[in-house]
Structure 1
Amino acid sequence: MGETQLSAVEAELYDRQIRLWGIESQQKLRAANVLLIGIRGLGSEIAKNILLSGINSLTILDDGVVTEEELLKNFLLSRSSVGKKIAEEVMVKAQALNPLVKIVSDTEAVGKKDMDFFEKFTIVIATGIKTDLLLKIDKACHSKNVKFICGDVFGTFGYSISDFQEHKYIEEQIQLKGKKRDHKGEEKQTVKVENTINYPELKKVVILPNSKQSIEGIKKKKRRNVLFFVMLTLIEFRNRHNRNPSITTKNEDLKSLQEIKSEIFQVYDIDPAKVNDDIFDLIFGEVVPACAAVGGVIAQEVIKAVSQKEVPIHNVFLFDPITYNGTEECVGA
């Protein structure tokens, strides 16, 4: 943990948000050490928002190299970055967003990290990695009381899944102030109410074909948002192909997506007709506005988790690629 005491410079810089969520919440953010795995289109939007919030430190873990395509969706890069390590190339513009935050770049592959590596962080954010590794990281975080959130953007579709374990938070509520009345009516007061949400581990949420985990808890809810199963389809595609769907191999990728969708919908007893296969035409690449929307939500959840202020999403967020609306689902709890 970093120091919680705000300096005069920090108090002035963060004045507006201190007014929004209070000095105690800002001090908790000031002490937070955040790990961000993946600094691509979505990751750059997450980084921007949490840097501006005033955390203590941000470690950027990504072993990738900057491509021409990456320049189109990542505002933290410049043309001279092509061919260089992306975690290092985002440093200059990321630091300029908030010079008071310590930023560390790490170009080692996340799969090479020992699981003890993750225990030194307050919260871990993961993007762009396969399920088997996600589950290992979440398990390591769960055992060390480190909060965890993962998410991705596929075209204009996006999602996030949170594991904040036993999360306590403070919510401000307006209540009537006894039976007193004045000329304006009943007096009201704002009170702080403490609540707790228990989050399931990721392995109880992301259950794919051939998994040993029981799906009965997920199947219990009859009106589950079908975008949840679209999410599982895309996650399984990455697991099997070690990449996201690509526009350069669109026809074969669409065929694979339809096959995976059929498997998942069969496992969960979902009518395939509930999702038109045309939705998969919208899942190629990382569309920048979708990255901005989903990145904003993930960063917001990080701030809530760290500051323990206001109600966080419990536990899945889904961004509709057609309507651009976001919905919440409670899965596996």
Structure 2
Amino acid sequence: MNSNQTSMLSDEEATLYDRQIRLWGADAQLKLRQTHLLLINVNSLSIEVCKNLCLAGVASITIFDNTRVTSNDVEENLTLTMSSTEVDEFKSVCTCRALQMLNPRVHLVAESTMTIDQIDEKYIEQFDYVCLFNYYNFKTIANLNNLCRQREQVDENGKKQTYFFCAATFGSYGFAFKDLGDKYDYLSENSFGSESLIRGEGGGNESKKSEKVTTKSIRNYATFEKALTLDWKPNRRQAATRSVVTTYNLLRGLLTFHEQYHRSPALATHDVDVPNLMIILEQMTSSTAAASSSSSNNVNNEKWNEELLKDVLTDNNAVASIVGGIMSHDIVKAISKQEPKDNFFFFNGLSCVGLSIPIAC
């Protein structure tokens, strides 16, 4: 799409996107129309994000997945995109076909011939955002993140990198992470003065509102590798923080499981995987407790059990909707240069707590 095509919205687009233009403005809508995304792995979470971004009106989405639809995917209602007639088809192809009906203006591409390990800097050059879902190979996640960091492109404001997002849901838990670079610039709105009532000329009261000034700010973000290798010590006095620490520890446990067994735990092999995952988590939390200067204040006091960990191996569409909604919103905010949230969002469905937390940034 050339500059002439992106200089203004058509009447049809203005009508189609009227509600969101009122929310974030025509300039942001134009930026959405010029944004190209890569979404890796098809599952309920990635479909939720893809659906939201399709409806928002991004330029293109490439859905990257070389696995095929199984009968279990259909029975478990993995996504709204698959039916029994599509068993053995590529998930990426089925997903593109179904999502295209949501917004014919978005260019959807199915990539089913490559593996994640084949992604290099040249391939990433096509995209403004790379989003990885439900993947627990730490080295691969870190490598993709670093490829995005190395990738620089020139826009009207100078050079900027390809931004990296990753997210996962595991049972009643989920997280979303974003790396927007060392120097992410955005627009922040600050209020000066306070709202008050003043007496007008006719004796009546008038409202004097505070002034709002938009300024340019900069925020630093960390890579996934740096954030997850940091010895994170959350504020023990915050109940909400204590609640989402469980999600954080489960994420670290799943990454460690993949490192040790070179695969992710699965429901089909839960008899073996759940006990092994429990051992990893218990060792992790006990070592953290031992390193804590005050064990009475230690927040890592989870009581892991087999039923809880078996639930971690299942897909939960409700949790995917919540985490996917947060992640989609963060991507739209990044595209439109609005003030971003912290780099991690953790969700604990059992306690119904979701929290944005800065780690290493």
TM-score (norm 2): 0.82
When residues 177 and 321 of structure 1 are mapped into structure 2, their CA distance, relative to the original with a 3 A threshold, is: closer
Given the alignment of the two structures, is residue 141 of structure 1 paired with residue 161 of structure 2, yes or no?
Answer: no
Deviations 1:136-186 (A, max 9, x none): 110010112111110101111110111011222223344437999452343
Q: Structure 2: give runs of 5+ residues left out of the alignment.
A: 152-160, 200-204, 293-297
Match of 1:171 in 2: 188
Task: Tell me how far apart the structure 1 counterparts of residues 144 and 334 of structure 2 sit (CA, whole Å).
Answer: 18
Task: Supply the AA of the counterpart residue of 1:274.
Answer: N
User: Which stretch shifts more, 57-66 or 170-179?
Assistant: 170-179
Q: How does 1:209-228 map to 2 (within 5 A)?
A: 215-216=230-231, 218-219=232-233, 221-223=234-236, 225=242, 226-227=245-246, 228=248
When residues 152 and 178 of structure 1 are mapped into structure 2, their CA distance, relative to the original with a 3 A threshold, is: closer
Match of 1:318 in 2: 346
Given the alignment of the two structures, is residue 131 of structure 1 paired with residue 138 of structure 2, yes or no?
Answer: yes
Task: Supply the AA of the counterpart residue of 1:111.
Answer: D
Task: Tell me how far apart the structure 2 counterparts of residues 242 and 69 of structure 1 sit (CA, whole Å).
Answer: 23
Please tell me whether the aligned partners of residues 245 and 285 of structure 1 are also in contact (alpha carbons under 8 angstroms): no
Given the alignment of the two structures, is residue 104 of structure 1 paired with residue 109 of structure 2, yes or no?
Answer: yes
Given the alignment of the two structures, is residue 206 of structure 1 paired with residue 228 of structure 2, yes or no?
Answer: yes
Give SS of 2:342's match. Answer: coil
Q: How does 1:23-172 map to 2 (within 5 A)?
A: 23-71=26-74, 72-107=77-112, 108-129=114-135, 130-144=137-151, 145-165=161-181, 166-172=183-189
Structure number with bigger Rg:
2
Task: Tell me how far apart the structure 2 counterparts of residues 141 and 304 of structure 1 sit (CA, whole Å).
Answer: 19
Task: Supply the AA of the counterpart residue of 1:47.
Answer: C
* CA RMSD across the alignment: 2.3
The structure whose RCO (Cα within 8 Å, separation 6+) is larger is 1
Task: Tell me how far apart the structure 2 counterparts of residues 85 and 318 of structure 1 sit (CA, whole Å).
Answer: 31
- Report how many aligned residue pairs link the two structures: 323
Given the alignment of the two structures, is residue 192 of structure 1 paired with residue 195 of structure 2, yes or no?
Answer: no
Please tell me whether the aligned partners of residues 262 and 272 of structure 1 are also in contact (alpha carbons under 8 angstroms): no
Please tell me whether the aligned partners of residues 315 and 331 of structure 1 are also in contact (alpha carbons under 8 angstroms): yes
Task: Tell me how far apart the structure 2 counterparts of residues 244 and 52 of structure 1 sit (CA, whole Å).
Answer: 32
TM-score (norm 1): 0.89
Q: Structure 1: give runs of 5+ residues left out of the alignment.
A: 208-214
Percentage of matched positions with identical amino acids: 25
